[in-house]
Amino acid sequence: MKKQFYSPPFLSPKSEKSLQELGILPKIIGVYKFDRGPPEVDAVFISHGHLDHSAYLSFIKRELPVYCGETTRTILQALSDVRRPNLEFSVSDIEFKAFRTGKKISVDNLEIDPFHVDHSVPGAYGFIIHTSNGAVVYTGDFRDHGAKPEMTRDFVENAKKAKPTAIVTEATNMTGATVSSEAEVESKLNSIVAGADGIMLAEFASSDVDRLNSFFHIAKKNKRCLLEALRKDKGLTVPAFDDEGMMIFRKSKKRFDKWEKQLIEQYEGENKIFDVFEVSKQQCNVILAVSFYDCDELVPLQPAAGSCYVLSTSEPFNEEMEIDYERLVNWLRHYGLPQYHVHVSGHIMPLRLKKALKEVNAKRIFPVHTESAGLFAGFVRDLKSQVTLVEKCKEYTL
Ligand SMILES: [Zn+2]
Ligand SMILES: [Zn+2]
């Protein structure tokens, strides 16, 4: 939505007024700092730490409690340590109330039951909300093909038991669906690294801990070490830097942020930190986590013949990303590096989603988090549940 109007960094929203004017910030009376009236809501619940679910917390009135999982709180606080606070992302002074699976929360006359779900960031939750008019289920972002599908199973079974009046479900993957799993991703990555003669450059989302673990496992299996550039969210460095298979890559830059300096100081004496010249000398022993913005490191690195690049995130999905991707491909072409794409989505696939919705059997289904709500409605039209396509800022009564 924001991308339809803005092109950062040169055209960014200057104040909340712009975001409200364009309907990017939803109109919910009294919940925002700049809104004087009393809030229409008693609390805010965050399902997980991805920014499409948490960024605009910066605008929330600080007297409103914000409920989220322990891990989400860690992620958001770490993010605010590594980024400079800006208009659209700041969690300073927020009154976080952290929950865990199985701990019910009462807000006014509602009872909210958070359930862990499998997603591409740790600490993701779905909610079963008990109201005087029956239960309402919210899936959050979820899948059943990641590293912990049993969590999603548990959520679906409990949602079914609640005999819900409504389920608000994500329906992201209605086009471009695939059949794969995190386990399959790991085995594909393994077959690439096993055959590579030079360095393996790997790009993956910094908060995707499942993927980090997949890379870590194949690094160990192939007697390489995984070199993580200093870009990780603090508190999410799983596996620990203390492990012998894990090294820290010091980027070739002159100024480091505070959290980077702290990490460097902590591990300096332990032979854990490698610069690009040291990496260049032992390319066969290394998987180097990089991003497009690190391409200039390739000049001192000089990748050996037989090196390769693995994109382990979703493919570029907008114009700016495509332009950056073309630039990346130019770099790789210059050094003779083939590109592999090995990834699995953080979102449930259509047939699996339909099966889960059939099992939960809510009276009504509200698809959200999708560009294909109409397609979704057609796909599930034989279920007993009635599908409602939602409109922005419209109220729905149960
Ligand atoms: Zn997400
Ligand atoms: Zn999302």
Distances (CA, A) of 380 to 80, 129, 168: 40, 23, 14
Which chain residues have CB less than 5 Å from ligand 2, an ion?
52, 141
* 244 CA from centroid of ligand 2 (Å): 34
Neighbours of 61 (CB within 10 A): 16
Tokens of 312: 């382990």
Average pLDDT value over all residues in the chain: 92
* 346 CA from centroid of ligand 1 (Å): 7
Tell me, what's the pLDDT at 230? 53
Maximum Cα–Cα distance for the chain, whole Å? 66
Distance CA 190, CA 245 (A): 15
Ligand at minimal distance from the CA of 172 is 2
Tell me what the mean pLDDT of segment 351-376 comes to. Answer: 98
Distance CA 190, CA 175 (A): 28
Percentage of the chain modeled with pLDDT above 90: 69
Ligand at minimal distance from the CA of 53 is 2
Distance CA 315, CA 203 (A): 11
* 209 CA from centroid of ligand 1 (Å): 13
Distance CA 392, CA 394 (A): 6
Query: Tell me: the pLDDT tens digits for 40-90?
Result: 899 999 999 999 999 899 999 999 999 999 999 988 988 888 777 788 888
* 272 CA from centroid of ligand 2 (Å): 35
Length of the chain measured in residues: 398
Ligand at minimal distance from the CA of 124 is 1
Ligand at minimal distance from the CA of 121 is 1
Neighbours of 104 (CB within 10 A): 11
* 140 CA from centroid of ligand 1 (Å): 8
Query: Tell me: the pLDDT tens digits for 335-345?
Result: 999 999 999 99
> Crossing angle, helix 70-82 and helix 258-267, to 10 degrees?
100
Query: Tell me: the pLDDT tens digits for 175-232?
Result: 989 999 999 999 999 999 999 999 999 999 988 999 999 999 999 999 999 987 654 4
* 37 CA from centroid of ligand 1 (Å): 31
**Contact, 272 vs 250, CB < 8 A?**
no
Ligand at minimal distance from the CA of 170 is 2
* 50 CA from centroid of ligand 1 (Å): 5
The identity of residue 198, as a single letter, is G
Tokens of 218: 């194949």
**pLDDT of residue 10 exceeding 70:** yes
Tell me, what's the pLDDT at 236? 52
Query: Tell me: the pLDDT tens digits for 254-278?
Result: 888 888 888 888 888 888 899 999 9
Residues 6 or more apart whose Cβ sits within 8 Å of residue 179: 349
Tell me what the mean pLDDT of segment 324-336 comes to. Answer: 96
Q: For 159, how many CA atoms within 13 A lie in the half-sphere containing its CB?
A: 33
Ligand at minimal distance from the CA of 119 is 1
* 48 CA from centroid of ligand 1 (Å): 7
* 58 CA from centroid of ligand 2 (Å): 18
Ligand at minimal distance from the CA of 143 is 1
Reported as a pLDDT band with limits 50, 70 and 90, residue 106 is: very high
* 105 CA from centroid of ligand 2 (Å): 23
Ligand at minimal distance from the CA of 207 is 1
* 225 CA from centroid of ligand 1 (Å): 29
**pLDDT of residue 239 exceeding 60:** yes
Tell me, what's the pLDDT at 235? 47
Tokens of 339: 């590109």
Ligand at minimal distance from the CA of 49 is 1
